[in-house]
Chains A and B, each alone.
Chain A
Amino acid sequence: MSKVYKQVPFAAIVKCPTKNNQSMVTGNWRYLRPVVDKATCTECKLCWISCPDATVDYSKDNGISFNLEFCKGCGICSNVCPVGAISRVPELDFDD
């Protein structure tokens, strides 16, 4: 009576998030927000590769942007940036 492997739901009993895991929002861990200077940015995407939480988004039209709902503010993006385009600004300087 054993099930074949294909019938077992993926990730056992936890529903696998397809994009954002809304039950584990980590944006409120951050106290310094990454801000990219579009004029300096060369779009080398080193930050996009290095972000441990995949919160750096890239599009051809808008360039580099950040998913601030999940960015923990670890600062790796600003450290790896070869041209220093990403600065870290205190979170309370923003109204949103």
Chain B
Amino acid sequence: MTLAVAIDAKMREITVWTRGVTLAKEARDVATLMAKAGGSEGLYVQSFDNYVDLPDRIGVACRSYARLSPEPIETYYEYENYHPDVVVICEDTMVKGIDVLAGIKPGTVVIINTARDPQKLLQYLSPKDKLQNVKAIATIDANAFGAGILLTFDGTEGSGDDTTIGAGVGAAIAGAVAKATGYVKLDSLVRVAVNKDAVKKGWDKVVVLPICGGEAFSCGLPENPQEIKWK
């Protein structure tokens, strides 16, 4: 058990996986938007990049984190989300060869930015024993909304980010994360993002596939993904 789980029992942790440089800004936007939207709803929040992965290089797997809690967060000195509640994958090839499910809590939601069939992506996710902890896989084809990708080195390694927050595909992915997890409301997310249209499209177009015991649920999709009960 890590300090974060022991002290902040109600804290929910979001890990955003992405490709270095090419998609790093958009992944940071997803974490920043979730934290900002949560903060505007009165939650206590943290949002930061994984220092271990920096400096990011083109195509290299790197992570951004967000933490939301209804109580003051006392975890200051853990710089990684060792036990995430939500895993976001900004580029679908990352399901292969990277242990994206490492350390996940029971009831984790996995959100993948992809145009492919989530059933097929399910077979690649690793480590395999952690598939038992996955509650649902949500897919969103954020690249199809034409929001674009911002290439910038702003905001890496502690420097200030002067660029706009949530102008590209990150806004659409954040919308999908908000709906699939139910952590923040659509209104508060729209308020903090620059590309409000992309957020709404991400919220509307996300497809949720419930998972039970590591396999896809056979009884169809529920009306509201937030009401899926974890067994």
Contact = CB atoms under 8 A, between A and B. Distances in A.
B97 A31 contact: no
A69 B228 CA distance: 38
Nearest to B120: A92
B91 interface: yes
A90 B94 CA distance: 12
Interface of B: 19, 59-61, 91-98, 116, 120-121, 124
B98 A28 contact: yes
11 contacts: A28-B61, A28-B98, A29-B59, A30-B59, A31-B91, A73-B59, A91-B96, A92-B95, A92-B120, A92-B121, A92-B124
Contacts of A52: none
Q: Which of B92, B94, B97 gathers the greatest number of chain A CB atoms within 10 Å?
A: B97
Given A91-B93, A92-B92, A92-B96, A31 B116 contact: no
A29 B124 CA distance: 15
A47 B120 CA distance: 32
Contact of B61 (A29, A73, A90, A92): A29
Contacts of B93: 30-31, 90-92
A65 B69 CA distance: 51
A72 B116 CA distance: 22
A27 interface: yes
Nearest to B20: A29
Contacts, number: 28
Interface residues of A, number: 10
Contacts of B61: 28-29
Given A28-B94, A29-B61, A90-B93, 15 more contacts: A27-B97, A28-B61, A28-B96, A29-B59, A30-B59, A31-B59, A31-B93, A73-B59, A91-B96, A92-B92, A92-B93, A92-B95, A92-B116, A92-B120, A92-B124
Nearest to A91: B93
Nearest to B93: A31
Contacts of B120: 92
Contacts of B95: 92
B108 to A, nearest CB: 21
Nearest to A29: B59
A31 B93 CA distance: 6
Nearest to B98: A28
A29 B59 CA distance: 5
B143 to A, nearest CB: 13
Q: Which of B60, B92, B93, B94 gathers the greatest number of chain A CB atoms within 10 Å?
A: B93
A27 B96 CA distance: 10
A28 B91 CA distance: 12
Contacts of A72: 59
Contacts of B124: 92
B140 to A, nearest CB: 16
A24 to B, nearest CB: 11
A28 B20 CA distance: 12
Contacts of B96: 28, 91-92
B128 to A, nearest CB: 15
